[in-house]
Each structure stands twice: as structure tokens, then as C-alpha cells.
Amino acid sequence: MDRYSILLTSALYAPIALVVALWIWRPPSARARAGIVFATAWAMVALLGVNALATRVGWWTFPHPELGIFGVPIEMHIGWALLWGAIPMLAMPRAPAPARPFAALAVAVAALVAFDVVCMPLLDPALVLGPGWLIGEAVAVAIALVPALLLFRWTRDDTHLAARVTLLCATFSTLMLVVLPTVILTHTGGTWRVIAERPDWLTSLAVQLLAIPAALGVSAVQEFAVRGGGTPVPFDAPTRLVTSGAYAYVANPMQLGNSLLLVGVGGLLASWWVTAAGAMSIVYSAGLAAWDEGGDLERRFGAPWRDYRAHVRAWIPRWRPYVPDDRHAVLYVSETCGKC
């Protein structure tokens, strides 16, 4: 095995081994596990953008960009995301001292920056540094590392809900609408450049039409945060049943909006494969996801949930908004108080 292959293999499996060891040594709580997942997802998405910028301006380059995603070897990208996502979260103290709430965050940033400064020059030829690579490191810390650390802390401590929801929406929207189509296009011979080749009026019309399901999804996320006190992700779900806003018309507004967006993006890109991915997301949501989420909501909310689902369809919107039955609201409050 040559040096290039050894470096890529080590960049992937060394962080994975460290994550496993830290998890066994200090098993995280349920909310900490959610924070670890969120932080790693953010790091994975943000580092894609940082690396795309870095290769364009010359901070660093990768010798075989055609073999990775966004020009980055997949082994190195996953390893870097774990290094800046899961690993510091597992290694951080469970409860930082209240008098110094950001002490653990500052230590984690300093330790990871020091590690990068020492190790990144050693990754040649898998990673070739340019003269301004420290500028790229600073940008990566600001865009990827610090938000990941904050997202973990906010999730673990159940604070800063608005900021948490914003970062999560940016993360999973990018994964669904940018990363997934790009991976599909890369393996099917498609390209984003097809959008620039279309008439301007057609692109403008398509974007305006796509804004409709996008607005539906954003409105649903807002309802989850404001009315439900949670996020769209099952690991950090709302604590109250949400039946207002978009949910008063359809039970799955976020899934409906995301699926329609992906189908629309596929049409805009003239890619049947991307369109098929949108269709498959509907199949998944209507099948496995609906079965799992329905059982969970039934257990948590009981009669109000059953009444809601009896009147609001999963995918076809109502003409008039659903109004909860006061009797079920009273029953839910009494059941909740009885469990306190």
C-alpha cells in the first residue's frame, strides 16, 4: 500500500476508532447523543463548502478530486467531520463550570486547531497545502467547528431553540437539496450547469414554483419550534402536539415540502434520477417513517393525536383548518399532569 492510500485509510479509521473508544469510556446521555449527531452533520455539510472554497482559492488541494465528493476524498471528509463533530463532543466534560460556560469550548477549539496545524502538513500527498492554508483553517474553524460545538452544547442543554432549529434546517436542507443531487449527478453524468443553459424566464418561473413547497416546509419548522418547543429531528422532537399553522391542513408538511422540492430540483436539472429520489422519499415517509412516528406520537399524546389524525390526512391538505376538540385538550392536560 502506498503512502497516499495509507493516509486516506488512516484519515477515516483513526477517527472512527477514537469515537468508539470515547463512546465506550464515557457513554453520552440521550440529549448528548442527539447533539453529537447534529454537530457531526453540521461539520460534514460545512466542511464541504469550506473545501470547495479552499480548492478554488488555493488554500489547499486534493490530487484526485474526481474520486471524491465536491473534490474531497470521502475518507478524509468523513474523518474530518468526526474529528470536528463527534470526537470533541465525547471528550468534553459533561457539565462545564457555570462560572466559565465557554471554557470547555475554547479548550476544544484550541486543541483541534493545534492538532490541525501539526498534522495537516503531514498529509501530503493526500492533501497539498497552499501558501494561505492558515487562512483557510481560520475560515473552517469559524464556519464549521465553532457552530458544531455550539450546536452540540445547545442540544445537550436544551437551550437556544431558535438558533438550534436554524442550524439544523441549514444542515439537512443542504444535505437533501445540494449534497444528494450532486452525488446523484456525479454518478449519472449530470451537471448543475444545465440550469445556466436554460432560458432565464424558465429558471425564474421554476424557482418561484419551488418557493411554494419551501415556504411550506419553513412554516412547519417554525410551528415545531414556536408551538411545540422542539425541532424537526426525532432526536430533539417537540414536547407538545402541534396542530396549528401548516399542520392544521396536512399532517406531514415538512416531508411533503421536502419531497416536492427534490422532485422539482430533479426537473430543473433534467435528471430523472434526482426526481426518482424525491419520489422515493415520499415512499419512505409514507411507509417506514409514518409507522415509526405514528407509534411514537400515539404513545406520547394519546387521544389528541388520534383525533387529529382522524381529521387531517398525511399528504393531501384539507380545505379548511383543523380545530382541536376541547374535550381532547382537557384530557391531554389531565393525563400529562397525572404523570408529573
- As a whole number of angstroms, the distance between CA 275 and CA 328 comes to 40
**Is pLDDT of 148 > 90?**
yes
DSSP states of 223-291 as a string?
HHHHTTSS-SSGGG--SS---SGGGGT-S-HHHHHHHHHHHHHHHHTT-HHHHHHHHHHHHHIIIIIHH
**Is pLDDT of 102 > 80?**
no
**Pairing state between β 128-129 and 60-61:** antiparallel
Q: What is the reported pLDDT for 67?
A: 67
Considering the entire predicted model, what is its pTM?
A: 0.83
Of 265 and 315, the structure prediction assigns the larger pLDDT to: 265
- Residue 335 confidence class, pLDDT cut points 50, 70, 90: very low
**Is pLDDT of 303 > 50?**
yes
- CA distances to 194, 209, 301, 329, 332 from 336, rounded to whole Å, are 54, 42, 9, 11, 6
- Where in the chain are the domains? 1-159, 160-340
Of 335 and 48, the structure prediction assigns the larger pLDDT to: 48
Q: What is the reported pLDDT for 297?
A: 77
Inter-residue contact 296 to 252 (CB < 8 Å):
no
Mean pLDDT of the chain: 85
Q: What is the reported pLDDT for 235?
A: 75
Of 98 and 283, the structure prediction assigns the larger pLDDT to: 283
- As a whole number of angstroms, the distance between CA 125 and CA 105 comes to 32
Question: C-alpha grid cell for residue 271?
Answer: 435528471
Q: What is the reported pLDDT for 26?
A: 87
pLDDT in tens, 249-297: 998 888 888 889 999 999 888 889 999 988 887 777 666 555 556 667 7
Assess if CATH 1.20.120.1630 describes domain 160-340: yes
- Residue 338 confidence class, pLDDT cut points 50, 70, 90: very low
Q: What is the reported pLDDT for 94?
A: 58
Is the preceding omega at residue 125 within 30 degrees of 0, hence cis? yes
pLDDT in tens, 176-191: 888 889 888 888 888 8
Share of the chain above pLDDT 70, in %: 88
- Residue 332 confidence class, pLDDT cut points 50, 70, 90: very low
**Is pLDDT of 124 > 80?**
yes
Q: What is the reported pLDDT for 334?
A: 39
Of 35 and 93, the structure prediction assigns the larger pLDDT to: 35
The pLDDT of 326-337, averaged and rounded, is 44
Question: 125 φ, ψ to 5°?
Answer: -100, 5
